[in-house]
Structure formats: structure tokens, C-alpha cells
Structure 1
Amino acid sequence: MLKLYYIAGTCSFVPHVALQWSGLQYTAEEVGRDTIKSAQYLALNPQGQVPLLTDGNWALSQNIAIIDYINDLAPDKGIYGATAYNDPKARAKARQWLAFANSDLHSGFKPIFGAARMIEGEEAQNKLKTNACDAVAKMFAGIDQVVAQQDYLTGHSISIADVYVYIEMHWAQRCKIDLSQYHNLNAFYQRVEADDGVTAVLKAQRLI
């Protein structure tokens, strides 16, 4: 059986939703930040990070790889959008936004969450965080423009890329990053949150 290891509210939220959408049998285990550095966990994922997916004795790390694997196991469940099963362009567009969320936008948060590991001195750390918050806010501009024209990033059906951006908006709220200049993001956030699979995982991870 599939098993997902996750830390609540992190990027492992995204494959958790993909599993929920897939209809596949799976279990999900919340782990602590101490657990992912343990010898037992590192034997499965030497990077010491979440998410981690196991399928029997086989282990897979990295968000996009895990999401692709889930999609391959349940290709008709709309993980990359309702039309993606028969439309390679729709799948590619969903993967484009997924890659943006996973690399560009996610990386933008690293100086905010890890300033103390990157630079010494409280003043320098605060400046780094401020600059990073400004840079992250600017990255949401393109998303706002897209969802001004359509409900979701790839059209009028939700895809897993929307879920990744949703959880990053959740981080932005925690970090007090002001996105109020973008007038379409709040409605987008509400639409994603209203999805049954997203709601189920929010409850499972005790985020609501």
C-alpha cells in the first residue's frame, strides 16, 4: 500500500491532496522534524525531507516525482486537471505551473524560513527576510493575472498546481506577506480551499 510521510502545512500537503484525489488506497503518517533526521528515515530518504512516498519496500522522494507517480497510477482522476488525461498540452501546462510553484516560488520562501541559517546577525537576517518577502509578493503577480481570466491556473478545472500555489498562499499569510494588491487571488484561494479533496487534507493535517 502507498504511504505518505508528511509534515503538516508544508509542501507535502500537495501530494497528500493528489493521493486524496486519486482514489487509491493509502495511509499518511505525520512526522516531526526530528524524525526526518533519524537513521531509519534517512535510509528511505537520504535528503531528510518530506514528502516521502513508499509503495511497499520502494521509496520515492521529491514532490514532482511523487505527484507524477500518483498520476501514473490514477491517470483518469484529474490530478493535472479534468482534461489532462487525453490532452498532453493540458498536462504540460499543469506541469509548467507545478514546476514554477515547486522551484521559483517555493525557493523564494527559503530565506524567510531559514534566514538564521543563511546569514549572521539579527539586523542582516531581518533585511534578508524583508527583501525575500518583497520578492515573493512580486512572484504572485503573474498568478493574479491568470486567475483574473479563468478560475484556475490551467483553465476552469482545478489541478494539483493550484494546490501547490494555495499552500504557498497559506505560507504567505503566516509570514504576513501583503498580497492585497492582487485582487483576484483571494477568490482563487477560496475556490481551491472549497475542493473536497483539499478540505479533507486540511482537516487531516489539522490546518482547519
Structure 2
Amino acid sequence: MKLYSKPGACSTADHIALRWTGQPFEVELLTRETLKGAEFLKINPAGSVPALVDGDFVLTQNAAILGYIADTRPQAGLAGDGSPRQRAEATRWLAFVNSDLHPAFKPLFAPAAFIADEGQKGALADAAHKRLRSLFEQADRQLADKPWLAGFRSYADPYFYITLRWASGLKVDLSGLDNLAAYTTRMEADSGVQAALNAEGLS
């Protein structure tokens, strides 16, 4: 199993999940240039990460890859205890990160995709920050009485952690969200998280 990742992108979540399985894997780190290079475009014509190659099977899309890692390495428990209810709970929070939280960053990452008028960028950024604050408040409430988003360590957690790193870098206001602060501390103390960050030059 080989993961293609770009340091700090959402693909780092897959890298963490693979570390959590304790099973062997390869990782190749890409740059902005190699993402669009002919070699990688043969693997993913979209020129984006993550991409996972397992034998003759090539998989893209972060949520799909995280689910595949969990399903092929079930001993890690990243989709829960094998019950439909726990898998659904893990998937609920994976969907929250993938469908709500990650897209809410796009106006900050690529404002030109949303507006042509440079004079409107400030208003767009303000709206994005408010939306992100609201979503992170929802996650903070979820973490009030549990250490992990789903109540157990799941494939939602690495992806969520990466969005917290983005929020910090973009100075999204997370003040007063003490459950998120404690969660971040727990994640950063985790050996698998540390190994993935070190390997990607992010520690």
C-alpha cells in the first residue's frame, strides 16, 4: 500500500491513519510541481492528493481512502468495533469534516474561485471565518464529554486534526473552545501523529 501525500494537505490525515494501523506502508511526498508531473498524473489525472495505490487498485478522494484504510486494516478499529452503529458514528463525523468543514476553508485558500472583485475579498474572508467558527463550535460541543469525535478514535480524527492545523495557520478564532484545545494537545502527543508530521517535515 502506497500513499501519495503533500505535506500539510488533507492527505496528511491518511498518513496519520496509516501510522495508526501499525501495518507497513509506503509514502511518497509530492510538491506543487510533482503533483502536476507526468508520473503522478498517470496515477491521478486530477493532479491532486491524496492518492492510494494498493496493488493494481488506485483510489482517490480522502473520505474513500480513509474508509479503505479502516476496512483493510480492521484491527486498528478506525471504523469502530465492527458494529453498524459505530461505523455510522465514525462516518457521520468523517462526513462533517469532509463535506462541511473542509469546503468552508476554500474561500480562504482560493478566493479567486469565488469572486472576481478584489475589493470583496475582505468580506469573503470575514464570512468564511464566521462559518468556520460556527463549525468548530459544533465540534467543540461534541468533544465536551469525549476524547474523540465519534467517542472512540476513528478515521474522522486525523482529518479533523488537519483542519485544526489549517485554522491555526489562517488565524481562525478558536478562542474559548477549550475542548478543541485539549483535543489538539492529545493529538500532538500521539506517537502516530508525531511520526507522520516528522516524516512530512511538519513537526
* TM-score scaled by length of structure 1: 0.92
Runs of 4+ in 1 over 3 A off after TM superposition: none
Aligned partners of 2:25 and 2:135: how far apart in 1?
Answer: 34
Q: Any conservation in 2 of the 1:15–1:63 contact (CA below 8 Å)?
A: yes
1:171 aligns to 2:162 (yes or no): no
Q: Any conservation in 2 of the 1:37–1:48 contact (CA below 8 Å)?
A: yes
Q: Which of 153, 166, 191 is the equivalent residue of 1:196?
A: 191
Q: Any conservation in 2 of the 1:44–1:59 contact (CA below 8 Å)?
A: yes
Alignment partner, residue 127 of structure 1: 123
Q: Which of 126, 140, 143 is the equivalent residue of 1:144?
A: 140
Q: Deviations over 1:97-137 (max 9, x none)?
A: 01110111000000100013332233212221121111111
What secondary structure, in the 3-state scheme, does the structure 2 residue paired with 1:184 have? helix
Cα offset for 1:149? 1.5
Equivalent residue letter for 2:13 = V
Cα offset for 1:58? 2.6
Q: Any conservation in 2 of the 1:76–1:85 contact (CA below 8 Å)?
A: no
Alignment partner, residue 95 of structure 2: 99
Q: Which structure 2 residue ranges, 5 or more long, are not aligned? A: none
1:184 aligns to 2:179 (yes or no): yes
Aligned partners of 1:192 and 1:92: how far apart in 2?
Answer: 22
Q: Which of 149, 153, 162 is the equivalent residue of 1:158?
A: 153
Aligned partners of 1:44 and 1:190: how far apart in 2?
Answer: 35
Alignment partner, residue 117 of structure 1: 113
Q: Which structure 1 residue ranges, 5 or more long, are not aligned? A: none
Cα offset for 1:14? 1.0
What secondary structure, in the 3-state scheme, does the structure 2 residue paired with 1:60 have? strand
Alignment partner, residue 57 of structure 1: 56
Equivalent residue letter for 2:88 = A
Q: Deviations over 1:17-48 (max 9, x none)?
A: 11111222211111012222223322211222
Report % sequence identity: 43
Alignment partner, residue 26 of structure 1: 25
How many residue pairs get aligned? The number is 203
Cα offset for 1:161? 1.0
Alignment partner, residue 10 of structure 2: 11
Cα offset for 1:65? 1.2
Higher relative CO (CA 8 A, sep ≥ 6), structure 1 or 2?
Answer: 2
What secondary structure, in the 3-state scheme, does the structure 2 residue paired with 1:85 have? coil
Aligned partners of 2:38 and 2:199: how far apart in 1?
Answer: 27
Aligned partners of 1:154 and 1:118: how far apart in 2?
Answer: 33
What secondary structure, in the 3-state scheme, does the structure 1 residue paired with 2:105 have? helix
What secondary structure, in the 3-state scheme, does the structure 2 residue paired with 1:59 have? strand
Aligned partners of 1:61 and 1:109: how far apart in 2?
Answer: 20
Cα offset for 1:140? 0.8
